């Protein structure tokens, strides 16, 4: 076993506090090992302003960085710097720093909720290619979002798609729900009138029809087609459930304050999507966007728009809002409202254990609020 002469570095006082050890997860370890074996680059980035928690992002995942204390001190040692080589033995190594903690990486939900704040008042509606800039408006580019949002590039792209955020003239702009519904209706009507298959619609023909007949920007149309399907070899394969869901949400959004009967919603929804896609209509598609409201003196199921995206992202505040809305929840009712604040089902179940208690009554098991919420 080799032996080395160990000494303190002449710069150890300046180096103190300059080093951190990060404990990699098994997935990250394998990612690095595979990259080394295949001579490929792997890029990590650490994001977060000085007043925010730090997050490590890979190409497609986000990890919270947490400091964990160590019972034993670890020494950071290196070969002797060249400028001090003459002062040490040839086989000497020097102590550069002493560590009493490591950084632990924990899978985390990307902080995509910040998008809504950063692009406030920049909504895109029909024909609004450009907006006049003024000092009260915030302009956010895609590159800005990559730097400011604590999310991996893959998660950011998915978040832009799920939140229906366009990139117009290199600026992020959310499309208004009303215009999106209108545009999807146009697409469905054109598929029928032009006798195009929804599984292989010619992209150029559809873009031209939207631009020439309805004055829809090609830059907008192509992004919407990517949101709701796949484009390959000039053909667009429509994601039927995604479009049907969005049209259902368009109806439901009008009933935030005034509930709508379930049968009425389904009838309007089926009429809107047409005979071809009415079999896809299902309340399951709207999970996490509505609650059943009380309907006195009637056996009809009544629904009210209640989107999880409008709830707080902080778990304690999220549960507080949920239990202010309803004192008891079935498991299948509450879990859709937790999917965007939990990395996976295991983390979701931990949240339920932390913030809820279960009660059993004649109707089965229910979740109710604990006496108080602790962060």
Length of the chain, in residues: 375
pLDDT in the model for residue 296: 63
**Does position 38 have pLDDT exceeding 80, yes or no?**
yes
**Does position 374 have pLDDT exceeding 60, yes or no?**
no
pLDDT in the model for residue 130: 61
pLDDT in the model for residue 134: 52
**Does position 372 have pLDDT exceeding 70, yes or no?**
no
Look at the alpha carbons of 20, 21, 26, 29 in this order and tell me if their dihedral is positive or negative.
positive
User: Given pLDDT bands bounded at 50, 70 and 90, which one contains residue 192?
Assistant: very high
For residue 68, report the phi and psi dihedrals to the nearest 5 degrees.
-125, 120
Share of the chain above pLDDT 90, in %: 71
pLDDT in the model for residue 127: 67
Q: Quick one: average pLDDT of 93-108?
A: 90
pLDDT in the model for residue 179: 96
Q: Read off the pLDDT of residues 249-296 as tens digits, 9 standing for 90 and up.
A: 999 999 988 899 999 999 999 999 999 999 999 999 999 999 998 766
| Mean of all residue pLDDT scores within the chain | 90
Q: Read off the pLDDT of residues 1-14 as tens digits, 9 standing for 90 and up.
A: 677 777 777 776 77
DSSP state of 153: H
The answer to whether 342 and 311 have CB atoms below 8 angstroms apart is no
pLDDT in the model for residue 346: 94
Higher pLDDT, 248 or 129: 248
Structural domains of the chain ordered from first start: 5-107 (no CATH), 114-239 (no CATH), 240-309 (3.30.420), 311-375 (1.10.10)
Q: Read off the pLDDT of residues 135-191 as tens digits, 9 standing for 90 and up.
A: 556 689 999 999 999 999 999 999 999 999 999 998 999 999 999 999 999 999 999
For residue 133, report the phi and psi dihedrals to the nearest 5 degrees.
-85, 140
pLDDT in the model for residue 133: 55
Residue in the structure block whose two tokens are 């049968």:
263
**Does position 356 have pLDDT exceeding 80, yes or no?**
yes
**Does position 194 have pLDDT exceeding 70, yes or no?**
yes
Q: Which of 5-9, 57-61, 169-173, 232-236 has the lowest mean pLDDT?
A: 5-9
Closest CA to 210 of 236, 171, 248, 245: 236
**Does position 75 have pLDDT exceeding 90, yes or no?**
no
Higher pLDDT, 299 or 309: 309
Pairing label, strands 92-107, 356-361:
unpaired
pLDDT in the model for residue 76: 86
pLDDT in the model for residue 139: 85
Residue in the structure block whose two tokens are 């604990």:
370
Higher pLDDT, 360 or 17: 360
Q: Quick one: average pLDDT of 225-248?
A: 97
Q: Quick one: average pLDDT of 69-84?
A: 84
First-to-last C-alpha distance (Å) of the chain:
50
DSSP state of 277: T
Q: Read off the pLDDT of residues 301-327 as tens digits, 9 standing for 90 and up.
A: 899 999 999 999 999 999 999 999 999
**Does position 352 have pLDDT exceeding 60, yes or no?**
yes
């Amino acid at each position: 076993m080799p032996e080395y002469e160990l000494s303190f570095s002449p710069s150890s006082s300046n180096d103190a506090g300059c080093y951190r050890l990060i404990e990699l997860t098994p997935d990250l370890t394998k990612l690095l090992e595979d990259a080394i074996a295949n001579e490929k680059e792997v890029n990590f980035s650490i994001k977060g302003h000085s007043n925010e928690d730090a997050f490590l992002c890979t190409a497609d995942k986000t990890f919270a960085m947490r400091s964990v204390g160590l019972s034993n001190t670890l020494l950071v040692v290196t070969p002797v710097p060249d400028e001090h080589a003459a002062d040490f033995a040839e086989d000497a190594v020097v102590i550069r720093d002493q560590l009493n903690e490591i950084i632990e990486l924990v899978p985390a939900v990307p902080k995509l909720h910040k998008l809504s704040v950063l692009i406030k008042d920049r909504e895109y509606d029909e024909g609004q290619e450009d907006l006049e800039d003024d000092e009260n408006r915030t302009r956010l580019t895609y590159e800005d979002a990559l730097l400011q949002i604590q999310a991996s590039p893959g998660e950011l792209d998915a978040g832009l798609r799920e939140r229906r955020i366009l990139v117009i003239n290199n600026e992020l702009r959310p499309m208004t729900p009303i215009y999106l519904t209108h545009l999807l209706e146009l697409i469905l009507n054109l598929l029928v009138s032009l006798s195009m298959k929804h599984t292989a619609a010619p992209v150029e023909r559809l873009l031209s029809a939207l631009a020439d007949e309805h004055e829809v920007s090609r830059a907008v149309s192509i992004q919407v087609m990517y949101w709701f399907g796949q484009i390959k070899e000039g053909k667009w394969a429509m994601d039927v459930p995604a479009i049907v869901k969005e049209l259902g949400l368009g109806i439901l959004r009008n009933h935030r304050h005034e509930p709508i009967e379930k049968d009425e919603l389904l009838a309007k929804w089926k009429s809107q999507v047409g005979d071809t896609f009415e079999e896809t209509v299902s309340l399951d598609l709207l999970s996490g966007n509505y609650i059943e409201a009380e309907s006195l003196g009637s056996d009809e199921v009544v629904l009210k728009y209640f989107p999880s995206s409008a709830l707080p992202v902080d778990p304690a505040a999220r549960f507080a809002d949920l239990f202010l809305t309803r004192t008891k929840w079935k498991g299948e009712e509450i879990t859709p409202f937790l999917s965007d604040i939990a990395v996976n089902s295991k983390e979701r179940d931990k949240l339920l254990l932390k913030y809820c208690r279960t009660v059993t009554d004649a109707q089965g098991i229910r979740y109710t609020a604990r006496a108080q919420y602790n962060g």
